Structure 1
Amino acid sequence: MSNSDQLTEKVILVTGAGAGIGRALAIEAGRAGASVVVNDLGASLTGEAETSAADEVVSEIEKAGGRAVANGDDVSKPEGAQAMVAQATDAFGRLDAVINNAGILRDGFFHKMTYENFDAVIKVHLYGSFNVSRAAADVFREQYSGSIINMTSTSGLIGNLAQANYSAAKLGVAALSKSMALDLQRWNVRSNCIAPFAWSRMTSSIKVDSPEQEARVAKLREMVPEKIAPLALYLASDAAEDVTGQIFAVRNNEIFLMSQPRPTRSVHAGGEGWDIESVGARAIPALRSHFLPLDVSADVFSWDPV
């Protein structure tokens, strides 16, 4: 089904849109009729400066007949987020959706992870999502409409090796998204998450140090970023006016609704309650059958994508 003109008159800000998933989202948004703010800092995954690809993405959107502007501000800085939102309203008169896609990786096993690498990833993913959404919220509240689409990851929702910083950031994004959905619902503003499976500049840096990881990366290579766009752009559209506070995952042609933490089983102690001995003798044995194993994402998504 064509996405043509599904987002006519909408203005969408896509962060980290110079490559990978963000680039695909920005181009597909343009094809669907939206005016697009293409944000890209112009830096590699490891932080070295490089020529920004935002202008190239803008050019591709314009060649296809769409409207777009390039932005080079930093999502990790509040003033950068404010500037990109201001650019959207200055250029196009409004802002209807933000897609918080910008990200970096600093993978490493926890016992080797530095404060600097932990801090850098949290700043871009979690603080970046907050900064851009917070700046956009003022516009959304005033116009009584808006959609926030946050990119989370099964690395946070489930777990992965050597990604404590990224996992913490992405699970934080899911919690932030739910809080925004709750707090902004009175102004008709929605907030949802997508955990994308796609080969991109970020996933290309995944450590391959086992046959299992090698197989996982091989599967990721087959999943193109454009597969993420239909759900993301649907969530940006008026058709999704009743969808908020949810966590989705997209893997090739599959769309998943992910669970959110809820109690699975309880035990109760009468009288004066629990003590150390009774916890070990009664509580833990009763709960143990519901313990979750130390899964990684590939253990849970163990079948081939369709």
Structure 2
Amino acid sequence: MYIYWKYSINEYGTKDIPALIEKIHQVKTAELRLSKPDIEEESNDDQLYKLCAICHSLGGASMLMYVVTRRLKSKPHRLSRLVLLSPAGFHHDSSLLFSAVEHVLFFLGPILSRIFPAFYVPTRFFRMLVNKLARDLQHLPAVGGLVQTLVAYVAGGDSSNWVGVLGLPHYNMNDMPGVSFGVALHLAQMKRTRRFRMFDYGSAYNMKIYGSPEPLDLGEHYGLIDIPVDLVAGQRDTVIRSSMVKRHYKLMKDAGVDVSYNEFEYAHLDFTFSHREELLSYVMSSLLFVKPNSKKHQRTPRSRGKGQASVRG
């Protein structure tokens, strides 16, 4: 069980996402060749379709890690555009409670990671209890409101519908979301260093993994991003504050990335659970303007693209 949960955000960006996108590439390419037998063979620099990624929170940080590390390895990332909704990566502007959690993770990490390898509900019986509690909260407004207030306080005052999230289908007796201790520690490292970096294993192991005693700083390599990026922040988001999304924007802008920045009056979970028309319109309009594939990663003006696919994170 401990080995299963032994991962950080590194594995999201360098293993999970590459496997997902390569599978999409295989399937999409096969479909296009079946529908158009006379289509020309794909070259190393071009592909037969356009793929856009829409990511939220931790998914945004993972996707940025994916793009940067693929470019460092001179491998195709196969993406045409990124739409990042309140992306993680920078966290030094956060609540006092998050700062307290950061210190606990650093000082007690070696002990806690052995006892609690992940934050999850371990057995079917306890998942059933959590599921029952979630359904009860939906039917008891007073109690549900109290829980909503407590969770919002823990999340730094964020007003997202936390109780409503517990009622979603993936919270059930057979399966529930979980996150490894390594991911939490990775976020704490980013918060402490005030930088968007890959996981810090310690100088000795860092030399083996990254070739330097310090982990790879992804923000310093934003100049490698060769596709348009749309950054979106929430004015009422206290989990990842707008100032932290602006940090991504400034680094990208300074590195010459084709990047835009927008804000909505949203809390953290509103981006994925509210389904508000203004956000849907913004995302869809962004997907209509996709940079055409180009050789050697040359920047070209935006143009309307067809045959698009999207990845949600």
Q: Structures share a fold, TM > 0.5?
A: no
Comparing both chains, which one has the higher relative contact order based on Cα–Cα distances under 8 Å and sequence gaps of 6 or more?
2
TM-score when normalising by structure 1: 0.32
